């Protein structure tokens, strides 16, 4: 059994907008027959939800609007076409055909130069690494010096000491 | 809005201006009406309409037909109109030389120059009392005649949100009508 509050919520929404099934609508209608408060509310809901907007005038845009839209889309289309014309598949193919021998030569030179540079840099890095290792080794030698000087614990030294 | 043939949509998406004009003629009324009811000014409604159709022209090729074209164009229109409306509100706050009442009268006078029906005066007052989200729901439901499901898809909100926004909007408008009724009786 629905209370008046729930009924009134439905009156403001689904009932007045025709979003209810026939059986649901019948339940509301039966309630309205016996509840004056809800019946008055239903009249106001219909006035607000339906009647106030029923004769709303439909307005149309002026012809200027279409002219402005046409101008705007045409100019953006032209820019797009210029761009497409320059970078069309045809033009790109032609450019490659023209440039091919030079492009091939340039590519070969690039590969050779990059490889040479890479090898040189690698060799330099390797040399640097080896130098570092020597330095580290020498550094460790000097650290060990004192202990070496003090370490007389070979058999011969022990014998004489 | 009359049904738009798939062929027209495809040719418009491909940049056919003649097809795009057909599309415009078929749907500009819907766009303009929704825009006008939200921004409440013919000049702004025309600018919103222009923005919407330029947007449609640029993006029609990306429209995947998962929703109907009608739902799609309603969504673009509502977004454009609400953005414009928010911009106008910010502008009004920034240049608050005129009082709210005077500003309301100015936009209403502009409307009155074109619309002389007394019903429109009531519609204007009722819609002015609502926030943008409520206004969008009322415009789509009451003026455009969309079902709850269609409103929900156009605004990309849950159907219960549509219901609750309509309920709150009508409660507000009901108080206004009651006040008017009491005033008329006096």
Cα four-point dihedral sign B131, B73, B144, A57? positive
The conformation of residue B62, written as its DSSP 8-state character, comes to G
> In which band, very low, low, confident or very high, does the pLDDT at A146 lie, cut at 50, 70 and 90?
very low
What is the ipTM score, two decimals?
0.78
B8-50 pLDDT, tens digit each: 888 998 889 999 999 999 999 999 999 999 998 999 999 999 9
pLDDT at B121: 83
Chain B residues 110-139 within an 8 A CB cutoff of chain A: 114-115, 117, 119-120, 122-123, 126, 138
Q: Do B166 and A13 touch, CB atoms closer than 8 A?
A: yes
CB of B162 closer than 8 Å to CB of B134: no
Tell me which of B18, B57, B139 to substitute to probe the interface with A (most A C-beta atoms closer than 10 Å): B57
Reported as a single tens digit per residue, the pLDDT across B59-72 is: 988 887 766 899 99
Residue pair B177/B66 in contact by the 8 Å Cβ criterion: no
Instruction: Please state the domain extents for chain B.
Output: 1-95, 102-186
For residue B76, name the pLDDT band (cuts at 50, 70, 90): very high
Q: Whole-prediction pTM value?
A: 0.69
Q: Please provide the CATH number assigned to the domain covering B102-186.
A: 1.10.10.10
Q: How do residues A21-54 score in pLDDT, each as one tens digit?
A: 999 999 999 999 999 999 999 999 999 888 889 8
pLDDT band at B118 (very low <50, low <70, confident <90, very high): low
Q: B84: distance to nearest CA of chain A, Å? A: 17
- CA dihedral sign of residues B18, B19, B22, B24: negative
The pLDDT score that the predictor gives to residue B84 is 92
Q: What token pair was written down for B85?
A: 């409306």
Question: Could you write out the three-class secondary structure of chain A?
Answer: CCCHHHHHHHHHHHHCCCCCCHHHHHHHHHHHHHCHHHHHHHHHHHHHHHHHHHCCCCCCCCHHHHHHHHHHHHHHHHHHHHHHHHCCHHHHHHHHHHHHHHHHHHHHHHHHHHHHHHHHHHHHHHHHHHHHHHHHHHHHHHHHHHHHHHCCCCHHHHHHC
**E strand or H helix at B97, and its extent?**
none
Q: What is B1-95's CATH topology?
A: Rna Polymerase Sigma Factor; Chain: A (1.10.1740)
Q: What is the pLDDT of residue A79?
A: 64
Q: Does A75 touch chain B (CB under 8 A)?
A: no
Token pair 């969309």 in the structure block, residue: B146
* Other beta carbons less than 10 A from residue A41's beta carbon: 18
The reply to whether domains B1-95 and B102-186 share a CATH topology is no
């Amino acid at each position: 059994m629905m209370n008046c509050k729930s009924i009134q919520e439905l009156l403001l929404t689904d009932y007045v907008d025709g979003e209810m099934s026939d059986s649901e609508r019948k339940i509301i209608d039966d309630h309205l027959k016996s509840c004056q408060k809800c019946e008055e509310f239903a009249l106001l809901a219909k006035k607000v939800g339906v009647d106030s907007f029923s004769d709303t005038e439909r307005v149309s845009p002026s012809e200027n609007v279409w002219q402005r839209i046409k101008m705007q889309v045409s100019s953006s289309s032209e820019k797009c076409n210029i761009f497409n014309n320059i970078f069309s598949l045809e033009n790109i193919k032609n450019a490659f055909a023209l440039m091919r021998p030079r492009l091939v030569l340039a590519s070969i030179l690039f590969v050779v130069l990059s490889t040479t540079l890479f090898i040189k840099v690698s060799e330099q890095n390797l040399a640097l690494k080896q130098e570092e290792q020597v330095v580290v080794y020498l550094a460790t030698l000097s650290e060990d010096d004192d202990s070496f000087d003090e370490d007389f614990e070979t058999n011969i030294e022990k014998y004489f000491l | 809005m009359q049904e738009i043939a798939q062929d027209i949509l495809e040719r418009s998406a491909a940049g056919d201006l003649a097809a795009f004009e057909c599309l415009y003629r078929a749907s500009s009324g819907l766009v303009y009406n929704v825009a006008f009811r939200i921004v409440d000014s013919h000049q702004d409604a025309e600018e919103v309409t222009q923005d919407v159709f330029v947007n449609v022209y640029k993006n029609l090729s990306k429209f995947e037909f998962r929703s109907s074209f009608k739902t799609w164009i309603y969504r673009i229109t509502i977004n454009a109109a609400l953005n414009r409306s928010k911009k106008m509100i910010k502008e009004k706050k920034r240049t608050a030389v005129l009082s709210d009442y005077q500003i309301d009268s100015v936009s209403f006078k502009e409307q009155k120059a074109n619309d002389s029906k007394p019903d429109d005066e009531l519609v204007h007052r009722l819609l002015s009392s609502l926030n943008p989200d409520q206004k969008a729901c009322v415009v789509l439901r009451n003026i455009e005649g969309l079902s709850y499901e269609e409103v929900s898809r156009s605004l990309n909100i849950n159907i219960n949100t549509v219901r609750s926004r309509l309920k709150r909007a009508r409660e507000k408008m009901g108080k206004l009508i009651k006040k008017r009724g009491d005033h008329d009786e006096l």
